[in-house]
């Protein structure tokens, strides 16, 4: 059994979906969870109430805002004195098919997606790593996507943001290793969450499930298990690794 007793874990976007499952799994291993949310406080409170153990708390902020990111990290450190694990899970997806949207919409989708999925994660890595360097080490796990490799035809900003997140993670893995900070990535395909609900309905849903030989999509807890592993003591030599969690729906070489 893995032991995260009294480890402080900041999980962005943990009010629901994958983030909530990650929070529940880490809490079950003894960690103290900082449940982050942007706008849905009620959902964040539901996550908080579902966690076993003690010392968990909520932190709010828009990760697309650099000042808010610094405030999130400062709040966690003020509350607990440290951050042992950062999990960059929060992300947005917007359809913006090139031939069907106007130029203004195209720009807005790119800006919003990059600001949240890439720059928000980058700023959180910076602020949390500063604290981890001071305390002598830590773990960072970034949640990417299968779309970083296979492409997202109607959401190219999402695919690009996740591909850049992968590259950033591997760059930081090399830079932060001397500070005893490992950086790992998980790259899920479709997961049974609110974010994927529309894509999993009807004929489209059957097609999506059929992409995997298991004939289903991932469960949130399956992503959470991989995140837990990368954050664990003993897994630090996997720094820079990207773990695919897509049920063999997309195999890369």
Catalytic residues: 158
Closest among 57, 105, 74, 68 to 90, alpha carbons compared: 68
- Rounded to the nearest 5 degrees, what angle is found at the Cα of 156, between the Cα atoms of 154 and 161? 145
Using DSSP, how many helices (H) and how many strands (E) does the chain show?
9, 7
Query: How many Å apart are CA 183 and CA 213, to the nearest integer?
Result: 30
Q: In Å, what is the CA distance from 10 to each residue of 79, 83, 192, 235, 243?
A: 12, 7, 22, 19, 20
Query: How many Å apart are CA 172 and CA 237, to the nearest integer?
Result: 14
Q: In Å, what is the CA distance from 99 to each residue of 107, 109, 147, 154?
A: 14, 14, 20, 10
């Amino acid at each position: 059994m893995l032991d995260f007793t009294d480890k402080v874990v900041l999980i962005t976007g943990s009010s629901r979906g994958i983030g909530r499952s990650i929070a529940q799994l880490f809490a079950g291993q003894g960690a103290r969870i900082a449940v982050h949310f942007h706008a849905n406080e009620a959902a964040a409170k539901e996550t908080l109430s579902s966690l076993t153990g003690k010392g968990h708390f909520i932190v709010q902020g828009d990760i697309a805002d650099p000042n808010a990111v610094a405030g999130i990290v400062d709040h966690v450190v003020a509350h607990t004195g440290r951050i042992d694990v950062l999990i960059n899970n929060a992300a947005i997806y917007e359809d913006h098919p090139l031939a069907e949207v106007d130029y203004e919409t195209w720009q807005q989708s790119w800006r919003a997606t990059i600001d949240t999925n890439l720059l928000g994660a980058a700023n959180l890595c910076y602020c949390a790593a500063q604290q981890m360097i001071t305390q002598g080490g830590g773990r960072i796990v970034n949640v990417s996507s299968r779309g970083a490799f296979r492409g997202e035809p109607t959401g190219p900003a999402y695919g690009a943001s996740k591909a850049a997140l992968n590259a950033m993670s591997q760059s930081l893995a090399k830079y932060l290793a001397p500070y005893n900070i490992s950086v790992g990535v998980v790259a899920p395909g479709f997961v049974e969450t609110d974010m994927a609900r529309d894509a999993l309905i009807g004929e489209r849903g059957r097609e999506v499930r059929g992409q995997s030989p298991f004939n289903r999509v991932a469960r949130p807890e399956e992503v959470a298990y991989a995140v837990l592993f990368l954050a664990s003591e003993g897994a630090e030599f996997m720094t820079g690794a990207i773990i695919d969690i897509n049920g063999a729906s997309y195999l890369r070489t």
